[in-house]
Amino acid sequence: MTAPLVEMRHIHKRFGDVVALEDVHFELQAGEIHGLLGGNGAGKTTLMNILYGLYTADRGEIHVRGQRVLIHSPRDALHLGIGMVHQHFLQVAPFTVVENIALGTLPRLGGKKHVRAAADRIQALAQQFGLAVDPHAVVEDLPVGVRQRVEILKALYRGADVLILDEPTTNLTPQEVDALFQSLRAMVAQGLSVIFITHKIREVMAVCDRVTVLREGRNVFTRSRAETREEDLVRGMVGEQLDVQHSFLFSGRPQETEHTAGAPLIQVHDLTVLGDNNVPAVQGCTFTVREGEILGIAGVAGNGQTELAEALMGIRPIAQGEVTINGYRVRVGSTRHLLARDVAYIPEDRLEDGYLPAASVAHNLILGYHRRPPYSRGSFLDWPAVFQAAWRLIKEYNIRTAGPTEIAANLSGGNIQRLMLARAFAHPFRVLIAHNPTRGLDIPSTEFVYRKLLEARARGAAILLISEDLDELLLLCDRIGTLYRGQLMGILDRPAFDKYRIGEMMAGVAATQA
């Protein structure tokens, strides 16, 4: 084996009391796609942020091309040929592609000529790696998949030959994922090297040459894909906590027992909802969710999912159309009546919408249900009952906290998510509207949520599951509708599920059959 291109040795990193990385090793060979696999909080992104100079390690060494290096900033990293594409793009939305890519590299004078030269170089790079993009398009008009190509081109334009991609398939359609993988193959074929951060085993198996698995800030193993089975990766990611044989997540939804959907519990007719800019974010949507049914809503983030969920919960005004949930006609301000009628809600933005940072964990666990027994009797809260319930929920949902009186601001993202789930699932809901319910959860917790959703379905609840994770929808749903620019492009029944068809619909191609 030749000397590695990049080698990270004995990397340690703490954030306050939290150990993010402990004695982690990582090496990248020239010309390979190296998967960095792990659940949430495994330390993947932290490790790569250290390589890219966004953090410095508390201890440990980095060697690039055989030289020991100190990387203090992304500028240092770029000098060494290391570029990174983050999950959230840093782009100037009203600028063109060229302007974004060449930002900070163009000389101040003689603009036009240099812009033309830059555009030519971008074209050349785009062609070389199959990253089709119009250099003169305005970035804010582009779909997420293309904006990602812009971000990759930006790194390449600045001379990166080691490319770090952080969860690059989030929010891509299956078609765009295939195209991305082809581009990555083209890059390594031409001598570049790629580090591919992901939590999806399938992606590792699809595109990586080697894989390093991290768990809780430690190395689990590094192997070539050829000698790795999916099951090894699962075990590597979750340890022995999960019974892989009996997991929905890895073996699929259990076979149907006799199942017929019952009465309609969510009825949406010709719904139009305005976004924050007063432009319709949801337009003319019509659908029904019945008892014992999970309807999924697929789509790239920002296509009206949030507005749809908020209108259904009475948080955002309905501009046009009708929404009836559990027999109740929804208007803006209906939220408390819906919650009282056994309608549960898991909002997308847990930090803004989902929790009370300045209040205790117990306060948080009863939010929205505080007017119900056992939490209150009449006008008075029953704190002993609340605390009893809180302890039970903390244990059942594995919320890591000192106890019900701890201030919720101390909780980590995954724990806030678990807290929101505990709050929603603590009551046997008839209707659930859940938006990205498993975001930020580790695998056992995700599995737990899936189990809860399927249990609720089995007892006759109607569930609207809005998710950006297509695999999650394919696994759980009875039907899947796809939102594109606020419009429902069609709803497919389970037998007709096809990742690529949904991908087309996510990109705006309407379903041919209704």
Q: Give residues in contact with another protein (CB under 8 A).
A: 17-20, 41, 43, 216-217, 313-315, 333, 335-339, 345, 347, 352-359, 363, 366-368, 370-371, 376, 379-381, 383, 400, 402, 412
Q: How far is the CB of 79 from another protein (least distance, A)?
A: 31
CB of 161 closer than 8 Å to CB of 172 = no
Q: What are phi and psi of 126, to 5 degrees?
A: -60, -40
Distance CA 110, CA 115 (A): 9
Q: How far is the CB of 376 from another protein (least distance, A)?
A: 5
How large is the C-alpha radius of gyration of the chain?
24
Q: How far is the CB of 178 from another protein (least distance, A)?
A: 33
Q: How far is the CB of 315 from another protein (least distance, A)?
A: 6
Q: How far is the CB of 435 from another protein (least distance, A)?
A: 11
CB of 501 closer than 8 Å to CB of 511 = yes
Sign of the alpha-carbon torsion through 89, 171, 192, 54: positive
Q: Which residue has the tokens 């249900």?
A: 369
Sign of the alpha-carbon torsion through 98, 101, 105, 108: positive
Q: How far is the CB of 132 from another protein (least distance, A)?
A: 39
Identity of the residue, 427 or 499, whose beta carbon is nearer to another protein in the bound complex: 427
Q: Compute the half-sphere exposure of residue 452: CA atoms within 13 Å on the CB side of its CA.
A: 23
Q: Which residue in 79, 287, 290 sits closest to 298, CA to CA?
A: 287
CB of 97 closer than 8 Å to CB of 137 = yes
Identity of the residue, 16 or 254, whose beta carbon is nearer to another protein in the bound complex: 16
Identity of the residue, 355 or 484, whose beta carbon is nearer to another protein in the bound complex: 355
Structure tokens at 33: 């796609």
Q: How far is the CB of 291 from another protein (least distance, A)?
A: 24
Q: Which residue in 313, 290, 268 sits closest to 493, CA to CA?
A: 290
Identity of the residue, 44 or 149, whose beta carbon is nearer to another protein in the bound complex: 44
Identity of the residue, 162 or 416, whose beta carbon is nearer to another protein in the bound complex: 416
Q: How far is the CB of 380 from another protein (least distance, A)?
A: 6
Residue 263's Cα: distance from chain center in Å?
Answer: 32
Residue 168: asked if its preceding bond is cis (omega within 30°), the reply is: no
Q: Which residues pair with 222 in a beta bridge?
A: 212
Q: How far is the CB of 360 from another protein (least distance, A)?
A: 9
Identity of the residue, 435 or 501, whose beta carbon is nearer to another protein in the bound complex: 435
Q: How far is the CB of 350 from another protein (least distance, A)?
A: 9
Alpha carbon distances (Å) from 200 to 36, 168, 352 = 10, 11, 27
| Strand ranges for 193-232 from DSSP E | 193-198, 210-215, 218-224
Q: Which DSSP category does 180 fall into?
A: H
Q: How far is the CB of 3 from another protein (least distance, A)?
A: 32
Q: Which residue in 416, 402, 435, 433 sits closest to 364, CA to CA?
A: 416
Q: How far is the CB of 265 from another protein (least distance, A)?
A: 19
Instruction: Look at phi and psi of residue 234 and say left if phi exceeds 0, alpha if psi is from -120 to 50, else beta.
Output: alpha
Identity of the residue, 277 or 379, whose beta carbon is nearer to another protein in the bound complex: 379
Structure tokens at 494: 């389970």
Q: What is the DSSP string of 28-66?
A: E-TT-EEEEE--TTSSHHHHHHHHTTSS--SEEEEEETT
CB of 338 closer than 8 Å to CB of 330 = yes
Residue 37 exposed, middle or buried by CB count within 10 Å (0-12, 13-18, 19+): buried
**Distance from the first to the final alpha carbon of the chain:** 56
Q: How far is the CB of 60 from another protein (least distance, A)?
A: 17
Identity of the residue, 5 or 20, whose beta carbon is nearer to another protein in the bound complex: 20
Identity of the residue, 174 or 217, whose beta carbon is nearer to another protein in the bound complex: 217
Identity of the residue, 97 or 366, whose beta carbon is nearer to another protein in the bound complex: 366
Identity of the residue, 163 or 346, whose beta carbon is nearer to another protein in the bound complex: 346
Identity of the residue, 5 or 426, whose beta carbon is nearer to another protein in the bound complex: 426
User: Number of helices and strands (H, E) in the chain?
Assistant: 17, 22
